[in-house]
Structure 1
């Protein structure tokens, strides 16, 4: 065969409208992260019942939370590289099946020790699934709408979290706390056959791995059935010399990626520190002002509501303006709104507005940062890059969960406490601004040298 057209699959996807095939991928990944959100939130709702059931001390109950967070961190760090080695779809199937089985098993835990161990295993699967869902979605979205579509997909997490509260409230009263874990395990196991049937492998991954030409052509034809696909050869954006050598983790530290990797890690660590500190301690802090349990719960819920709306709005803005500076400004604003909560806590309505705005900026920015990290890394280490950024961020979530209690024991005033909590958000914004400046400078230098760059 002579004169075969060569198609760059990345450019092919970028110039197409979003097809029903791509929309189905986004929906399936939305369901994966929604189940993740459900599980993350549900354990908080059943914790008081577990404490009563087994007569647990607060420190023992904390071990249940800590096991899940440790599993999420380990899953992100361990399973990310496998997504770049064996494919996004295969790893997603393993992770979704794994956390489904572990959650079902945890529903039958005979003791606290068993529950802690199974919560860790559940976290492992959840930690590996989320970054690969982000990666797969990103690789099927056209560049002009990628940030908006990825952040919209990731809203499944906050929606799943909200659903976890409603389902837990309904099931615990009728069937007990074990039924919530059972529901959280059955849902992913029911989803697995659908993923096997309808979820494709990343076409960019197939090209980099030398996948079968007919399989690549058939996948692209489901996006846009162009006649040339039948005889074309396929490629993707060129990667730097040596990019595919070494482990996927080592590739994150290539000279062209090192600075960006460290700045993304700093942003993720600081961002998730703030998010988990507020999620864990805000109800307790509000109760300390004399607010009722109901008022504290409603005000805290505005954080997730703001985060969902923020993810969609910021994703839309990131597709129209420099995404680094959009996130930098949003994180900086989050620092201001978080600091304001302390001064407004005595007024529930004003506190709710400040919490909503803080969620809009910091949670919305964290979702946007996931989309940005997926766009930053090349195909050969994208799943690893997104997973490790999330894994480092999970370390921040552990620090945030512990820091709230530490600051309370220090006797800080509410205003001083929330001011301190706002500082990491500003640091995250600065890291995004520096990353944007660095990438713009590097792109300008490469353009002047007549080279193509990421």
Structure 2
């Protein structure tokens, strides 16, 4: 007798299985390595300027090359992941950014380093949205936003650890050895991913590989399925043979476009700060340890912010939670401009901005995963990330303009409040379109059903 089992109900268990915890931990580690390799170039930038005797504008192509690669990697990887599977794309791209980060340590010119950073960026940009997608597909619905966002905190923690590592190793070892170490760490993780990371069960079922999905879900539930069991997905996941790209650009176009705008503006601010903050603070007269510490606590604040936001996203309307986080960040940028002469007060405010801005940025990935069904989730999440990366590219270039126009610290923070406000407005428009003025319990249910 044939018996059907909803695969998502197996995932939506009250207690996470060891396999689900494994996916969460591996996701966190991929995010961590992505953050480590993304941020490390910004922290070594002052040493690179001194070692190669180049100007700050000459360094801009190095800082932006990886961001261009990230945008391309994210946009290309989404369709590939929805077609060929999440795991293969994640393993390949992690291997790519690990190897080319190591090669950056052997670069001898700006051109060489820019090329290596571009290829590194392709891997970095492809890995992050796809690891977020697979983590979200293994987390239970009632804790999906919190756990996916918590895994994403690895990115912020990776950037912070890159700053701390640079602060204590740079002067003794030199920039080349620091960046090589940053590439060796994720290379070791690739081996673990190949051996232990499972494929998305939703992807397997949609592509006629139910037996593979059964073996994975049996590990999740801790017991074998009865003979004759057929795995199915809920109606909200059944989109027929619709092309993932046509769904994102059709049914989900307005929500997608608002997410793109929000991510674009948010990453413009985030990468201007992470790429140029050490150099900006050094120019303002801060010491190496001072600027490394202040630059490191910005993304570290995002770890706390994303954790708290993820918890509230499962309790309240997720779009509203992130919208108000951006609004509070706008106010704090103004405060930062007013206290920029005090190292202690500036450090506290930068930490809080990181909690709100970087935390909100991390939370956009689980928010996007909630917006799309599994058939187009990888495309939707990756495209938001890829288009947003164009803002990151502009952020890296705008950083060099700061020195051209001789803006002081106060003026820089006041200017950064503007794109942060636009991110808030984009989510407000998204929320209005979805009709989010409803009780929190209904919002959570609708968010889960929307998948």
Alignment TM-score, normalising by the size of structure 2:
0.90
Residues 7 and 231 in structure 2, CA contact (< 8 A), matched pair in contact too: yes
Q: Secondary structure at the match of 2:221?
A: coil
Query: 1:308 matched to which residue of 2?
Result: 303
Equivalent runs, 1:267-286 vs 2, <5 Å: 267-283=262-278, 286=281
Query: 1:252 matched to which residue of 2?
Result: 248
Q: Give the drift of 1:328.
A: 0.9
Structure-1 separation of matches of 2:78 and 2:298: 29
CA gap of 1:412–1:42, structure 2 versus 1, over 3 A, is closer
Query: 1:326 matched to which residue of 2?
Result: 321
Once the two structures are overlaid, the 10-residue window that deviates more, 76-85 or 230-239, is 230-239
Structure-1 separation of matches of 2:108 and 2:281: 35
Residues 329 and 429 in structure 1, CA contact (< 8 A), matched pair in contact too: yes
CA gap of 1:173–1:356, structure 2 versus 1, over 3 A, is closer
Alignment TM-score, normalising by the size of structure 1:
0.89
1:46 and 2:44 matched: yes
Structure-1 separation of matches of 2:85 and 2:41: 30
Equivalent runs, 1:374-413 vs 2, <5 Å: 374-406=369-401, 409-410=404-405
Q: Give the drift of 1:174.
A: 4.8
Of 6, 27, 31 in structure 1, the residue corresponding to residue 4 of structure 2 is 6
1:155 and 2:153 matched: yes
Residues 33 and 155 in structure 2, CA contact (< 8 A), matched pair in contact too: yes
Structure-2 separation of matches of 1:253 and 1:326: 25
Equivalent runs, 1:194-233 vs 2, <5 Å: 194-211=192-209, 213-226=210-223, 228=225, 230-233=227-230
Q: Give the drift of 1:334.
A: 0.8
Query: 1:136 matched to which residue of 2?
Result: 134
Q: Secondary structure at the match of 2:220?
A: coil
Q: Give the drift of 1:443.
A: 11
Of 61, 77, 88 in structure 1, the residue corresponding to residue 86 of structure 2 is 88
Residues 264 and 391 in structure 2, CA contact (< 8 A), matched pair in contact too: yes
Structure-2 separation of matches of 1:73 and 1:121: 11
CA gap of 1:84–1:229, structure 2 versus 1, over 3 A, is farther
Of 65, 68, 74 in structure 1, the residue corresponding to residue 66 of structure 2 is 68
Q: Give the drift of 1:314.
A: 0.7
1:261 and 2:261 matched: no
Q: Give the drift of 1:47.
A: 2.9
Q: Give the drift of 1:372.
A: 0.6
Query: 1:448 matched to which residue of 2?
Result: none
Unpaired runs of at least 5, structure 1:
445-451
CA gap of 1:230–1:123, structure 2 versus 1, over 3 A, is farther
Aligned residues between the structures: 442
Unpaired runs of at least 5, structure 2:
440-448
Structure-2 separation of matches of 1:176 and 1:293: 14
Structure-2 separation of matches of 1:31 and 1:431: 31
CA gap of 1:244–1:317, structure 2 versus 1, over 3 A, is same
Residues 102 and 118 in structure 1, CA contact (< 8 A), matched pair in contact too: yes
1:223-259 per-residue CA deviation (whole Å, 9 max, x = no partner) reads 113554543211213358865333x3333112x2111
